[in-house]
Amino acid sequence: MIKKVLLALSLALAAVSAHADEGMWLPSLIGSRIKDMRSKGFRLTAEDIYSVNKASMKDAVVLFGGGCTGEFVSAEGLLLTNHHCGYGSIQQLSSVERDYLSDGFWASSREDELPVPGLSVSILVRMEDVTERVAAGEKPADIVAAAEKDGHKADVQQMYYGNQQFLFVYDVFRDVRLVGAPPSSIGKFGGDTDNWVWPRHTGDFSVFRVYAGADNRPAGYSNDNRPYRPKRHFTVSTRGVEEGDFTMIYGFPGSTQEYVTSDAVEYVAEVSDPMKIALRTQRLDIIAAAQAEDAAVRIQYASKHASIANAWKKWQGEVLGLRRLGTVGKKRAYERRFAAWAASRPEYAHLLDSIHAAYEAVRPEYYIAELYSESVGAIEVFSRAQSLADIRSRVAGDAQFADAALGTQPSFLKDYNAGIDRAVASRMIAEFMQRMPAGEVPAEFAAAVSERGGVDAYVGYLFDNTVLTRETFTAAEFDADPVVRMAAMLAPLRTRMAAVRARNLSDIPEVRRWYTPYMRALMEWDTGRAFFPDANLTLRVAYGSVAGYEYADGEYHRPVSTLEGVIEKDNPDIYDYDVPQCLRDMHAAQDYGRWGCDVDGRRTVPVCFIATNHTSGGNSGSPVLNGRGELVGINFDRTWRSTMSDMEFDPAICRNIAVDIRYVLFVIDRIGGASYLLEEMDIR
């Protein structure tokens, strides 16, 4: 059996007819793509990208925190990532007196670099195909344990729904320090309005440094630690990019579902995304209205609004994209062809029916789980009650519980507005009751709501009486709290939902088990297709080229943006478009120093560019490299209408968005006044 799998895999990997630029490839297997890459402008070898024997590009790429990518740009551990990836760290180190989010931060020497407690950076030491070892009976846990012997962190990840198993071995560094960040008026320029949008003018980068022990190995924070000396760091190219230039992205995409059947796509496009979008629209409207009324609330809810809006906008693009591409219909046709082939193969003939039946069985429950977390789960004081109730059941005495609860109460209240939450609660409970399938709302809860005379009255009662929005309360008050009682009434539902908790519908074990043989069958059948494993937050290579696209009929969007666009968007009255004065002055004087260049006969500074690389969430902060493997940009986004690439990549419209490395250097040098940082980089 295993021989057959491997044969199917190697046949699949040998095929070169991937759709142009689609794919997120495993670096250790990049050899199968090198010919195609070189035909598109890559000048280096597979060994340059990934090697176990010598330093290679992979040694310069890191998993930043738990969901972004970063890259080394100096021999002394200097690291670049996005501003939005460093946002939490920058916020954590900020205070009213030292507001690094608003003002930016630049360490003036190594001593001034700020340790970020809790932040880690993981560097891939090696990856290894362990499929045959697992098939021969070795336990993944034992493989991991053996790999972790010398202080590494390891895991075994499945590719192709378990048809391939890879061991990943990392070094995890926990002494990571903030070196620099632009003010949000550059790093988050355009805010949520421009988020997922091209043309873009955001300087979305921040700078960190990794520290290690005297032996250059990972070590907990210490004054004695020294800058980590990476095996490899990227050379920075200031030659810039033009339409058509080869680009490669090396990073950690989080999650895609390229091989799921039509049922799963239909669920996303017609059920799940629309429900989540509708609920978030209402929340965002409530929050935005309150923010417009009150400047303090605007700041308080800035980060919450940003994260609610981020996925909300992405899903809208995904729905549009999937419908525009007709992904469901295409998949149905593909499945019909597969079924005809599989009909004479007993081990595969039943698969589509089995997958379909599994979806029918788990989908209602999964929908309830999603609805639950997007509706009542979005009520802040309710989820606070839930997490405190969890603590209540864990800690022994009343006094201990009160200590634990009150200890975190200030941080909960800091960015909390009860007026917003009350309005959200009214809407979300109403939506929850209405959208839940008949008979599924826990009876006790439905009764409690109607006893009070309906949702609004019930919510009024909750918010007039809860103690959870106060600075202090006793354990007895907590136990009698109406929101805590609501959490208790809904607890059975929450417990039930734990059974379908999965990254997505197709990852629920009952469904997923059928994808293992289905994936194998697809590879055996569809020999002309270049299969790549779905993203799963492991290191990948994507390649493509700098390219504009037709945004609408007759409306072509060029692939590069410049400082001219920043100044055109400048508006001191709108927080997200308030350009820093020093930048206005430099623009007025065209005083760009070595960073100025001519675009269309005009002296300016390049800011962002788009390309055809297949990326996903997690690729933020990834190095964008030219054909020589030099750093030309930092990836940070996609256009929202191309976010269906998580399920179907369309080379005509899917574009990733990067900040031009020349803008990064310009901001470090001219806005940050931190030109000493450039001295440790290799700039060409």
CA angle, corner 619, sides to 311 and 560, nearest 5?
A: 90
Q: Which of 216, 235, 281, 310 binds ligand ARG (CB under 6 A)?
A: 310
Q: Which of 637, 648, 660, 669 binds ligand ARG (CB under 6 A)?
A: 637
Partner that binds at residue 199, options ligand ARG, ligand ASP, none, CB closer than 5 to 8 Å by kind: none
- Alpha-carbon distance of 179 to 114, in angstroms, equals 7
Contact 623, 595 (CB under 8 A): no
Q: Which amino acid is at 115?
A: P
Contact 636, 661 (CB under 8 A): no
Q: Residue 170: CB partners within 8 Å, gap ≥ 6?
A: 63, 122, 123, 124, 125, 152, 153, 154
Quick check: is 204 catalytic? yes
User: Nearest to residue 30, comparing CAs of 45, 52, 10?
Assistant: 45
Residue 22 within binding range of ligand ASP, rule CB under 6 A? no
CB of 543 to ligand ASP, least distance (A): 16
Binding-residue pattern over the window 323 to 362 for ligand ARG, x denoting contact by CB under 6 A: ----------------------------------------
Set 237, 620, 622, 645: catalytic member: 620
Set 48, 171, 175, 204: catalytic member: 204
Q: Using CB under 6 A, which residues numbered 601 to 620 contact ligand ARG?
A: 617, 620
Contact 478, 484 (CB under 8 A): yes
Quick check: is 344 catalytic? no
Binding-residue pattern over the window 592 to 621 for ligand ASP, x denoting contact by CB under 6 A: -----------------------xxxxxx-
Residue 638 within binding range of ligand ASP, rule CB under 6 A? yes
Q: Which is nearer to ligand ARG, 230 or 623 (CB)?
A: 623
Q: Which is nearer to ligand ARG, 309 or 449 (CB)?
A: 309
Residue 188 within binding range of ligand ARG, rule CB under 6 A? yes
The per-type count for the chain, helices as H runs and strands as E runs, is 28, 22
Q: Using CB under 6 A, which residues numbered 192 to 221 contact ligand ARG?
A: 192, 195-196
CB of 319 to ligand ASP, least distance (A): 16
Number of residues engaging ligand ARG in binding (CB under 6 A): 11
Helices 509-525 and 327-342 meet at what angle, rounded to 10?
Answer: 70
- Alpha-carbon distance of 607 to 105, in angstroms, equals 20
Residue keyed to tokens 């109730």: 389
User: Nearest to residue 16, comparing CAs of 37, 2, 46?
Assistant: 37
Residue 637 within binding range of ligand ASP, rule CB under 6 A? yes
Task: Classify strands 623-625 and 246-251 as parallel, antiparallel or unpaired.
Answer: antiparallel
Residue keyed to tokens 């995304």: 273
Q: Which is nearer to ligand ARG, 108 or 307 (CB)?
A: 307
Q: Which amino acid is at 495?
A: T
Q: Which is nearer to ligand ARG, 188 or 569 (CB)?
A: 188
Eight-state DSSP code of residue 235: P
CB of 255 to ligand ARG, least distance (A): 12
- Alpha-carbon distance of 166 to 126, in angstroms, equals 10
Contact 184, 132 (CB under 8 A): no
CB of 310 to ligand ARG, least distance (A): 5
Q: Using CB under 6 A, which residues numbered 72 to 91 contact ligand ARG?
A: 84
CB of 74 to ligand ARG, least distance (A): 26
Partner that binds at residue 195, options ligand ARG, ligand ASP, none, CB closer than 5 to 8 Å by kind: ligand ARG
Report H helices in 375-508: 380-394, 398-414, 418-435, 443-452, 455-465, 475-479, 482-498
Only one of the segments 38-46, 186-194, 333-341, 509-517 lies at the binding site for ligand ARG (rule: CB under 6 A); that segment is: 186-194
- Alpha-carbon distance of 485 to 22, in angstroms, equals 50
Only one of the segments 174-182, 269-277, 364-372, 630-638 lies at the binding site for ligand ASP (rule: CB under 6 A); that segment is: 630-638
Active-site positions read: 84, 204, 620
Residues forming contacts to ligand ASP in the complex (CB under 6 A) are: 615-620, 636-638
